[in-house]
Amino acid sequence: MNIIVCIKQVPDTTEIKIDPVKGTLIRDGVPSIMNPDDKGGLELALRMKEQNGATVTVVSMGPPQADVMLREALAMGADRAILLSDRRFAGADTLATSYALAGCIKTLDYDLIIAGRQAIDGDTAQVAPEMAQHLDLPQVSYVIDAQKTANGFIVKKENEDSVQTLEVEGKCVLTVLASAFKARYMTVEGIIDAYANREVEVWSADRIDVDEEKLGLKGSPTKVFKSFPKSLKEPGEVHEVSEEEAVELIVAKLKEKHII
């Protein structure tokens, strides 16, 4: 089985601040990490590799600095790493990104594509579903478990209030939640190997199956009009009352807001 995992390098948003005037992210000095949901996806792929045997290829689109994240993926146990890096990809929104990734994946031999649900810097959750569309593949999002069957996969999908179990035939795209797959650590040998004996293949736009007009800024219909930090909510009210009074108060407030 050949599994492709799409991963993205993102700023560690737990350490990021927003410029209050410009509304943009202050990225200076913020470490870059593998997007957590993508890391969960890689973990799922590596578990499937251990259970059924598989070749795991990680694919990322990004600047040359993303090399270190792909080495991390190799050190965790991935077999092959491809970095789509080309000025022509720059300025891509989710549509152009998913198009480029699909164009890369078309040239590869695969049985399953795994991606994270969403990236912590953009939070769109659009890239993998769009990629499935480009590739004309079925997709299951919010995946918390997946098992290989004779001709496809049994997949558990987490909804807000329930878990669905689905059967998918043939090739498909899964988007994965980090919380369901605690990612393994890199091994010491894997780390040494990642730099000493392994390669991160850097692919340009010429190497993949795409119409160049649909790449990067040119292929991106999304225009960011304005970004700003969310304003803080007003502080709540504190009522020091008995339990009975509290119940009455809560019911009255809920009625006031037409919630009940």
Partner 1 sequence: MDFSYSKTEQLFLQMIRSFAENEVKPLAAEVDEKEMFPEETVKKMAKLGLMGIPVPKQYGGAGGTVQMYIMAVEELSRVCATTGVVLSAHTSLCMSPILEHGTEEQKMKYLPKLASGEWLGAFGLTEPNAGTDAAMQQTTAVDAGDKWILNGTKIFITNAANANVFVVMAMTDKSLGVKGISAFIVERGFKGFSIGKKELKMGIRGSATCELIFENCEVPKENMLGKPGEGFKIAMKTLDGGRIGIASQALGIAQGAMDETVKYTKERKQFGKPIAKFQNTQFQMADLKTRVEAARLLVRSAAWKKDMGLPYSADAAMAKLFAAETAMEVTTKAVQFHGGYGYTREYPVERMMRDAKITEIYEGTSEVQRMVIAGQLFK
Residues lying near partner 1 in the complex (CB under 8 A) are found at: 68, 71-72, 75, 185-192, 194-196
- Minimum CB distance to partner 1, residue 6 (Å): 21
Q: Which is nearer to partner 1, 144 or 186 (CB)?
A: 186
- Minimum CB distance to partner 1, residue 76 (Å): 9
Greatest alpha-carbon span in the chain: 71
Q: Which is nearer to partner 1, 75 or 102 (CB)?
A: 75
Give residue for tokens 């780390």.
191
**Selection from 12, 16, 20, 14 nearest residue 230 by Cα:** 20
Q: Which is nearer to partner 1, 189 or 234 (CB)?
A: 189
Q: Which is nearer to partner 1, 96 or 200 (CB)?
A: 200
- Minimum CB distance to partner 1, residue 37 (Å): 17
Q: Which is nearer to partner 1, 68 or 166 (CB)?
A: 68
- Minimum CB distance to partner 1, residue 49 (Å): 17
- Minimum CB distance to partner 1, residue 122 (Å): 23
How far apart CA 120 and CA 164 sit, in angstroms, is 25
- Minimum CB distance to partner 1, residue 40 (Å): 15
Q: Which is nearer to partner 1, 67 or 79 (CB)?
A: 67
